[in-house]
Amino acid sequence: MLAELVGDGWLGGRGDAAVVRWSASLLERWSEADAVEVRPLTQAFDRLAALEVRLPPFEIGPRTFDFSQGPAVMGVVNVTPDSFSDGGRYTTVEAAVAHAQLLVAAGADLLDVGGESTRPGADPVETEVELRRVVPVIEAIAAALPGVPLSVDTSKPLVASRAVAAGAHLINDVTGLRDQAMLQMVVALGVPACVMHMRGEPRTMQREPVYEDVVSEVLDELEQALMRGEAAGLPRSRVLVDPGIGFGKSVDHNLFLLRRLADLKLLGAPVLVGTSRKAFLGAVTGRPVEARAGASAASAAMAVLGGASMVRVHDVPQTRDALAVVRAIATAQGGGSRFSVTSAA
Ligand code: HH2
pLDDT per position as a tens digit, 30-42? 555 554 455 555 5
Nearest CA, atom 1, ligand 1 = 274
pLDDT band, very low/low/confident/very high, at 11 (cuts 50, 70, 90): very low
Q: Which comes out higher in pLDDT, residue 208 or 269?
A: 269
Q: Which comes out higher in pLDDT, residue 305 or 43?
A: 305
Please pick, among 312, 320, 327, 338, the residue that the annotation labels catalytic.
Answer: 312
Q: For residue 57, give every residue at least 6 positions away whose Cβ sits within 8 Å of its Cβ, in sequence order, or none.
A: 64, 65, 66
Asked whether residue 97 carries a pLDDT value surpassing 60, the answer given is yes
Mean pLDDT of 50-70: 88
**Which tens digits make up the pLDDT trace of 245-295?**
999 999 999 999 999 999 999 899 999 999 999 999 999 999 999 999 999
Which contiguous run of DSSP H or E holds residue 281?
helix 279-285
Mean pLDDT of 63-83: 95
Beta-sheet strands, E only, within 154-298: 170-173, 193-196, 239-242, 272-273
What is the predicted pLDDT for the residue at 4? 44
Which contiguous run of DSSP H or E holds residue 237?
none
Mean pLDDT of 184-196: 98
Asked whether residue 25 carries a pLDDT value surpassing 60, the answer given is no
Please pick, among 278, 287, 292, 338, the residue that the annotation labels catalytic.
Answer: 278
Assess whether 260 carries a catalytic annotation: no
What is the predicted pLDDT for the residue at 121? 83
For helices 24-33 and 35-50, angle between their N-to-C axes, nearest 10 degrees: 160
Establish whether residue 242 lines the binding site of ligand 1, counting it when its CB lies within 6 angstroms of any ligand atom.
Answer: yes
Q: Other C-beta atoms within 10 Å of 325: how many?
A: 12
Contact 331, 309 (CB under 8 A): no
Establish whether residue 196 lines the binding site of ligand 1, counting it when its CB lies within 6 angstroms of any ligand atom.
Answer: yes
Task: Name beta bridge partners: 73.
Answer: 311
Assess whether 278 carries a catalytic annotation: yes
Establish whether residue 228 lines the binding site of ligand 1, counting it when its CB lies within 6 angstroms of any ligand atom.
Answer: no
What is the predicted pLDDT for the residue at 155? 96
Mean pLDDT of 300-310: 97
Query: What count of residues does the chain have?
Result: 345
pLDDT band, very low/low/confident/very high, at 17 (cuts 50, 70, 90): very low
- Looking at 101-105, 119-123, 174-178, 252-256, which range is the least confident one? 119-123
- Looking at 147-156, 184-193, 199-208, 280-289, which range is the least confident one? 199-208
What is the predicted pLDDT for the residue at 278? 97
| Collapsed DSSP state (helix, strand, coil) of residue 25 | helix
Asked whether residue 311 carries a pLDDT value surpassing 70, the answer given is yes
Asked whether residue 2 carries a pLDDT value surpassing 60, the answer given is no
Asked whether residue 43 carries a pLDDT value surpassing 70, the answer given is no
pLDDT band, very low/low/confident/very high, at 234 (cuts 50, 70, 90): very high
- What's the mean per-residue pLDDT of the chain? 88
| Collapsed DSSP state (helix, strand, coil) of residue 181 | helix
- Looking at 2-6, 138-142, 271-275, 298-302, which range is the least confident one? 2-6
Establish whether residue 61 lines the binding site of ligand 1, counting it when its CB lies within 6 angstroms of any ligand atom.
Answer: no
Q: Which comes out higher in pLDDT, residue 339 or 277?
A: 277
Task: Name beta bridge partners: 72.
Answer: 310
Asked whether residue 19 carries a pLDDT value surpassing 50, the answer given is no
Asked whether residue 165 carries a pLDDT value surpassing 60, the answer given is yes
Mean pLDDT of 173-183: 96
Contact 279, 303 (CB under 8 A): no
Contact 128, 162 (CB under 8 A): no
Asked whether residue 16 carries a pLDDT value surpassing 50, the answer given is no
pLDDT band, very low/low/confident/very high, at 14 (cuts 50, 70, 90): very low
Nearest CA, atom 18, ligand 1 = 83
Nearest CA, atom 5, ligand 1 = 174
Q: Which comes out higher in pLDDT, residue 191 or 122?
A: 191
